[in-house]
Structure 1
Amino acid sequence: MTTWTDVINYVRTRYEVLEETDGWLRFRLQGPDGRTQQVTVHHVEELHDGSWVEISSPVGWADKLDLRRLLELAGTSAVGGAAVVDGVALLKHTVPLEDLSIEHEFERPLKAVVARADSLEHELTQADEF
């Protein structure tokens, strides 16, 4: 059985953690061409069928980009959906925590969400703010 502590320890040993609370971690991954991308992992317990892990990565400030275009582009990806939280447009993906294979069911979607969010940020904002 995989626990939230297992996810925290996995992230801490592999990535530069920028901020952490009991329920989430924010960290940075290196991208292509010197770009970096922030990602947040939340422990979500309110969903039925046990605990989940939500992976989210920012695309840009919602009021500074074309949200319709973001939705169109996000819809072409196998992982992640677009959302706006606290004025930030995000790409998000959720995986069940119970019996989670961290290497396959966490790391693969994590890298896919982060790569796609960085690509969308670059395309929609021409910046590397997040």
Structure 2
Amino acid sequence: MASWIEVINYVRLRHEVLEETDDWLRFRLGTTGERTQQVAVHHLPDMDGTAWVEISSPVGRADDVDLRRFLELAGSPEVGGGAVVDGLALLKHVVPLEDLSVREEFERPLALLVARADAIEHELTEKDHF
């Protein structure tokens, strides 16, 4: 069983944190070549007694991407789903903190989500804004 503090410490040790609050942090990961991808990790409030961790990564500004194509691409079965939050098209994935093995059940979805978000961003915008 992992705690939110363990998730934060895991991220801090492996990645440069760009921004952080008590229940949220944002950092950047390298992807392919010179490309990078921003990631946010949120500690979600307890739901039915279970705390959750949300991993999200932007693929573009919602007004600047083909949202139908974004949803088609986000529908990939590997990890997560698509959403628009604060004007950004995001890939998001949620895992319960209660049974989380940080190394296995956080790192793998994180890597899959980041790779997928970067590929979608590249396809939809041909840029590397995030």
TM-score normalised by structure 1 residue count: 0.97
Instruction: Describe the SS at the equivalent of 1:32.
Output: coil
What does 1:1-130 align with in structure 2 at a 5 Å threshold?
1-130=1-130
Deviations 1:72-115 (CA, angstroms, capped at 9, x unpaired) = 11112320100000000000000000121111100000010011
Quote the offset at 1:33 in angstroms.
Answer: 1.2
Aligned equivalents of 2:74 and 2:106: distance in 1?
19
Quote the offset at 1:46 in angstroms.
Answer: 4.0
Unpaired runs of 5+ residues, structure 1, are none
Aligned equivalents of 1:30 and 1:95: distance in 2?
23
Instruction: Describe the SS at the equivalent of 2:47.
Output: coil
Please tell me the root mean square deviation across aligned C-alpha atoms, in Å: 0.9
Instruction: Describe the SS at the equivalent of 2:33.
Output: helix
Aligned equivalents of 2:117 and 2:111: distance in 1?
10
Aligned equivalents of 2:99 and 2:26: distance in 1?
23
Tell me which amino acid in the other structure corresponds to 1:96: P
Aligned equivalents of 1:5 and 1:76: distance in 2?
31
Instruction: Describe the SS at the equivalent of 1:2.
Output: coil
Residue identity over aligned pairs, in percent, reads 68
Aligned equivalents of 2:79 and 2:112: distance in 1?
7
Tell me which amino acid in the other structure corresponds to 1:59: V
Tell me which amino acid in the other structure corresponds to 1:123: E
Tell me which amino acid in the other structure corresponds to 1:75: G
Quote the offset at 1:25 in angstroms.
Answer: 0.6
TM-score normalised by structure 2 residue count: 0.97
Aligned equivalents of 2:90 and 2:70: distance in 1?
9
Give the ranges of 4+ consecutive aligned residues of structure 1 lying more than 6 Å apart after TM superposition. Answer: none
